Amino acid sequence: MNLMISITPFLTLVKEGKLRTAIRANALYRPFYTLSYLAALKNCGVMDQLSSGPTPFKELTLAYAGNERTTEALESWLQMGCRLKVLALTGKGYALTGLARKLSRPENDATLALLQEVGTLHHRLIMETPEKICKGELWPLDNQNASLTARSSRALEPFVLEAIKRYLPSSQPCKLLEIGCGSGVYIRHAAARNPLLTAVGLELNENVARVARENLKDWKIPNHIDIAVGDIRAIPVTPDFDVATLHNNIYYFAVEERTRVLERIRSFLKPGGELLLTTCCQGGNIGIDALNLWGASNSHGGRLPEKAEMIYHLKQAGYEEINSLRLIPGDSFYAFIARK
């Protein structure tokens, strides 16, 4: 018996004005599923396992499934990856394909980490922030994954490196203070640019500082680089630095505190010393809007600055010869250079 497909439901949806809305909403599902799946693929370890080549299903079950029901669940999860064209089932087992294969390569790790942040931290910010603020609450600092943030922040590394090349001395003796040194990667670039550089990297978190020290050792950076633990707002002032840098962290300070923080940093500089500050500002891409939401909804920091507002804070803190440079054409990632 032939069964005819009825178009009556569709006609009803058209008549009621619902079909167009349903189609537009449906178009959002696949990108959301794909992004979520790619993030989960890395988070659970399957991406790393498949990065060396196809893996038989039986081998995956040994690692991820303990009984018949969980084996069925694992197979369904893998099938969804194939449907999204993130995975492919080959004669040798499941394999990464397309974007997933490219993201698994070490050189694309920062892009992968950004994707993971969107699928985890940014999703939580969008979903849960309204409920928090209705209760009069803000997010604590530990709502972020520090190691994931360290990986994702490297997506901006080429642009920060351009600012370092443009503004940091390349041949004369230079003593650098980097506030919030993170992994130490920007100190690494500064030391590579200037063999006469000496530097102190300041970190609030001892674990992050330990990682920075290990990185600098692995990178064979000379011993004239020191990583210290402390808060720039509290440590004793030693006004003997030629350059101070803040990369991607001014929004860790509340808006009303920024002038005081910049003024204190100025006190660490020699006369004529310079501050190099890089930051996303208001009005950028949707990812920058997410960063703005993160800063504004966290109890420890504040929203992103406006470009003019950042210059105003620097002036109020006593800096002179303030200049700005847009580091990403058409977007709102800037370098600010100011002199004591």
pLDDT > 90 fraction of the chain, expressed in percent and rounded: 82
- pLDDT, position 339: 97
Helix (H) or strand (E) holding 315: helix 307-316
pLDDT tens string 185-202: 999 999 999 999 999 999
Residue 262, classified by CB atoms within 10 Å of its CB into exposed (0-12), middle (13-18) or buried (19+), is buried
Q: Which of 164, 170, 206, 166 is nearest to 185 (CA)?
A: 164
Query: What residues are paired with 179 via a beta bridge?
Result: 202, 246
Q: Tell me whether strands 241-247 and 197-203 are parallel, antiparallel or unpaired.
A: unpaired
The DSSP letter of residue 171 is S
Residues of the chain with CATH 3.40.50.150: 156-339
| DSSP-assigned states of every residue in 88-141 | EEETTEEEE-HHHHHHTSGGGHHHHHHHHHIIIIIHHHHHHHHHHHHTT--B-G
| DSSP-assigned states of every residue in 260-297 | HHHHHHHTTEEEEEEEEEEEE-TT--HHHHHHHHHHHT
Helix (H) or strand (E) holding 217: helix 206-218
The DSSP letter of residue 234 is T
CATH tag, 8-103: 1.10.10.10
CB 201 within 8 A of CB 179: no
Q: Which of 234, 237, 196, 198 is nearest to 216 (CA)?
A: 198
For residue 203, give Cα distances in angstroms to 138, 179, 212, 246, 263: 23, 7, 9, 11, 19
- φ, ψ of residue 67 to 5 degrees: the values are -155, 180
Tokens found for residue 82: 């194939």
- φ, ψ of residue 138 to 5 degrees: the values are -125, 165
- pLDDT, position 2: 58
Residues of the chain with CATH 1.10.10.10: 8-103
- pLDDT, position 15: 77
Q: From CA 190, how far away is CA 169, in angstroms rounded?
A: 9
The fold adopted by the segment(s) 156-339 is: Rossmann fold (3.40.50)
Q: Which residues of the chain have pLDDT under 50?
A: none
- pLDDT, position 187: 95
